[in-house]
Every structure is written in structure tokens, then in C-alpha cells.
Amino acid sequence: MKKFSVEGYFVIGLALCFFLIVGFILLSSGKSASQESLLSISEITEQDHLKGSKEAAVSIIEYSDLQCPACAYYSGFSKQLEKDFGDSVVFVYRHFPLITIHLNSISAAMSAEAAGKQGKFWEMHDLLFASQQSWSKSDKVEPIFEGYALEIGLDINKYRDDVKSVEVASKIQGDMLKGNLAGVKATPTFMINGKKITNPKNYEAFKALISQEVSR
């Protein structure tokens, strides 16, 4: 398995910056994605992390940054939606780290993806958000994230390999590219059945939106 050195992480950062810049240029030029393109971007793939069935009546795709405080606020909504709507809703998480303002966001995304290689993406996702204030400003997050990996029962040697792998970096890049094509500018950004929405202020408002979609 290929691995990245410290210099490799820098290259990843540059690549992700490139995707952000491309998206900004497209948006600034007025070339917004068509509805057909948005529906294509909203197609759920085998690479996506999801809760629920791909066949659900309502799909919710979130573009999120694990270091983003607003994303942490919304992070608990998926569990509530699952409880309230059951098989009617599928919730999909995609990475959109805001690397210019959240310096640990890529490391966090790579940590979650590495956990996903052992079937524990959501466990790491939940733990990273729950403990966000503990690692957000740290200049040495890798030992902290390794501690989380042990806490959720990961094989630490496999985790260390996966967190530096090309596959993990490519997954994050792919999510960001989709976000750019969808016109994502901030996190969290939600798309319901292929349509980008204005973020509801609280869970009850979010639930009302989903209820409307389910009843159609």
C-alpha cells in the first residue's frame, strides 16, 4: 500500500486547494450546475458513507467539515432522523474540509476514512464531533486521533497504514470535487433529493422539511 510522507500531506493539501479554486472559478463565472448535474452528483455510490437504504424515498446528503462547529451542531440530526423516519430516509456524509480556516480538518477527515476501512466510520465521525473542542486547536492531532482509534477498537497498525494511504486521500478529494460541482460554499451544506437547501435553524425545522418530502 502506498503511503504519504509529511511532504505528501502537503501535496494533498495543495490538491484539495486546487479543487476549491476550480469550484470558485466555476461559480464566479456564472456556470452553475444544472438540475440534471445535481441529480448525478446526488447519486449514492458504494464509496459513500450512509445510514439507511439507498432505496429510501428521501436522500439527505451532507457536505461537512469535522472541525466545523456548525457541523458539530447538526451532527446529531442523522440519528434523530433515523429514529423518526426509519427506512424512509437515507443519510449520506461527504467530506468538505475548509482547509484554509480549519487546519486540522484534513487530518480529521483522513482519520474518519481510515476508521471506515475497518467498518467504523460513524463511530469515529461521532467521536470526532463530540470531542471537537479537544483537538480542534491542537498542533499535534495525530496522537489524539490514534487514541480515538484505540478507543473505538480499531487495529492500530492497520489504522496507521490506512490514514496515510492514497485510497483515503482520493476519497476525500472525490467528495470535495462533488461538493464543488454542486456549488457548496460553506459547511454544513445539505441536499435533499438532489436539491440544495437553506439550513434549518433546529431539528424540528429540519424534521418538517423531511416530512414534506416523505409525504410527496
From 1-15, 46-60, 136-150, 186-200, the region with the lowest mean pLDDT? 1-15
What confidence score (pLDDT) does residue 8 get? Answer: 43
CA dist 196 and 190 (Å) reads 6
pLDDT at 207: 96
Q: Where are the alpha helices (DSSP H) in the chain?
A: 6-28, 35-41, 69-74, 77-85, 105-116, 121-130, 132-135, 141-151, 156-162, 166-181, 203-214
Query: What is the second-level CATH architecture of the domain 6-214?
Result: 3-Layer(aba) Sandwich (3.40)
User: pLDDT tens digit string along 27-74?
Assistant: 544 445 555 555 578 889 999 999 999 999 999 999 999 999 999 999
Mean pLDDT, residues 145-153 taken together: 98
Q: What are the pLDDT digits (tens) for 88-136? A: 999 999 999 999 999 999 999 999 999 999 999 999 999 999 999 999 9
Q: Is residue 5 pLDDT above 60, yes or no?
A: no
**Other CB atoms within 10 A of residue 132 CB:** 18
Residue-averaged pLDDT of the chain: 87
- pTM value is 0.84
What residue segments make up the domains of the chain, in order of their start? 6-214
Residue 84 CB contacts under 8 Å (≥ 6 apart), including other chains: 207, 210
Angle of helix 105-116 versus helix 166-181 axis, rounded to 10: 120
